[in-house]
Amino acid sequence: MKKVWPIVLLIISVLIILVGILTYIFFMGDKKMDNTTINNEPTKEIIDNKPKEENNVDQLKKENYFIAKNLDRYLNYLKKHPEKDMTEIIRCVNANIDYEFYTNTVNSNTDDDILLIVNKYHRLSSNYVPKLVEMDDKYNYNKGYRMMHPTAYEHFKEMVDAAKKDGIVLYNVSAYRSYDTQYDLYNEYVKNHGKEAADTFSARPGYSEHQTGLTTDINTSSSKANFENSKEYAWLIENSYKYGFILRYPKDKEYLTGYKYEPWHYRYVGKDVAKYIYENDITYEEYYAYFIDNK
Ligand SMILES: [Zn+2]
C-alpha cells in the first residue's frame, strides 16, 4: 500500500498541471479572438443594424449649435416631433421651447451684464434695477420710460445720429420699465384681452426684457402703427446691428422667442454679438444657449 501513494500523488499533480494548461489556452485563445474583432473595421451589417437612437445622436452631434448637456432633451423632443429635421430640433431645444412657457424657469444671471437674457424661462427679481441714465429729450419721445443702461444709451445715440444723416428719424418711446410698471401693464392687458392673448405680446412681471434697461421700443410700440412698412424700419433692419442692436422678436421666429413679431423692439447686445446674430439669422435665445450658457 505504501508504494501506491507516490503514484497517486504523481497522477494528481499531472492532472492539475494539465487543467492549468488547458485553462490558459482556453482564455488566451478567447482574448486573441477579441483583439482580432476590435482591430477589424465593423462590417457593413453592423452599421446597418446600429440602433436608430445611435444614428440620431451621431446626426445631432454634427449640427452647428449642438450642446452636449441638452442631448436627452434633443432626443425626447425628436420623439415628439419626428417631422422636424435635426437643425430644427437643436434650435427649438436650445431656445427651451421643449418646455412650456413659464415652466423650468431660472433666475437670469445678472453677471452677464449687457448679455443678460430675460425671456419666458429667465426672470429678474422684483428688486432688480440695472445701471441707468436718463435719456436726453433729443432721443426720447415718451417722458415716462426714458431711463436706459448707460452702454446701451451711448450706442443708441450713435445709431440715432447716424440714421439722421440718412434722413431717418428715430426716437425711443419705451426703454427701461421697472418690475412694478410691468406688473401694472401686464395686468391691464390681461384685464382687456385675457391671459392667453396677453402672454403672446406682453411679458409677465420679472420676465420683461425692458427691466434690463438694454431694450428700446423705437418710434412706436403698437402693431397698429404698421412700423414694418416704414422707411425707419427698413433702415433699422439694415443697420441696427452696426450699433450693437438686434431685432429681438422677428416675424418668422415667434415660435422660438415666444413673442409676436415686434418690428419696433430692439435689444442692445454689443456690436460683435449683434453682427453675429444678424449674419447667422438666429434668435438671442439660441445665441445665449450656445455661446454664453454652454460653458
Ligand atoms: Zn418692447
Q: d(Cα 198, Cα 203) in Å, to the nearest integer?
A: 8
**What's the CA-to-centroid distance between 292 and ligand 1, angstroms?**
23
Does residue 1 have a pLDDT over 80?
A: no
pLDDT at residue number 264: 97
**What's the CA-to-centroid distance between 146 and ligand 1, angstroms?**
13
Residues with CB under 5 A from ligand 1 (ion): 217, 265
Q: Which of 237, 76, 255 is nearest to 163 (CA)?
A: 237
> Hey, what's the cell of 161?
445720429
Read off the pLDDT of each residue in 247-263 and give the average, rounded to a whole number: 96
- Angle, alpha carbons 100-210-66 (nearest 5°): 45
Does residue 5 have a pLDDT over 80?
A: no
Task: Please report the sign of the dihedral spanned by the C-alpha atoms of residue 92, residue 249, residue 268, residue 215.
Answer: negative
pLDDT at residue number 21: 63
pLDDT at residue number 33: 41
pLDDT at residue number 51: 80
Half-sphere exposure for 194 (CA within 13 Å, toward CB): 2
Q: d(Cα 27, Cα 259) in Å, to the nearest integer?
A: 65
Backbone angles phi, psi at 172, to 5 degrees: -85, 135
Half-sphere exposure for 172 (CA within 13 Å, toward CB): 32
Query: What is the full DSSP assignment across 20-56?
Result: HHHHHHHHHHHHHHHHHHHHSPPPHHHHHTS-HHHHH
Other Cβ atoms less than 10 A from the Cβ of 27: the count is: 10
Tens-digit pLDDT profile for residues 77-117: 999 999 999 999 999 999 999 999 999 999 999 999 999 99
Q: Quickly state the pLDDT bin for 29 (edges 50, 70, 90).
A: very low
User: 92 has which bridge partners?
Assistant: none
Tens-digit pLDDT profile for residues 193-207: 999 999 988 999 999
Does residue 13 have a pLDDT over 90?
A: no
**What's the CA-to-centroid distance between 202 and ligand 1, angstroms?**
9
pLDDT at residue number 38: 43
Domains and CATH numbers, the chain: 44-94 (no CATH), 106-292 (3.30.1380.10)
Tens-digit pLDDT profile for residues 137-194: 999 986 779 999 999 999 999 999 999 999 999 999 999 999 999 999 999 999 999 9
Residues labelled catalytic: 262
Tens-digit pLDDT profile for residues 267-283: 999 999 999 999 999 99
Other Cβ atoms less than 10 A from the Cβ of 115: the count is: 17
Q: d(Cα 150, Cα 57) in Å, to the nearest integer?
A: 44
**What's the CA-to-centroid distance between 97 and ligand 1, angstroms?**
21
Q: Quickly state the pLDDT bin for 26 (edges 50, 70, 90).
A: low
Question: How far, in Å, are 62, 77, 103 from residue 293 at the CA level?
Answer: 20, 20, 18
pLDDT at residue number 34: 43
Q: d(Cα 279, Cα 52) in Å, to the nearest integer?
A: 34
Q: Quickly state the pLDDT bin for 30 (edges 50, 70, 90).
A: very low
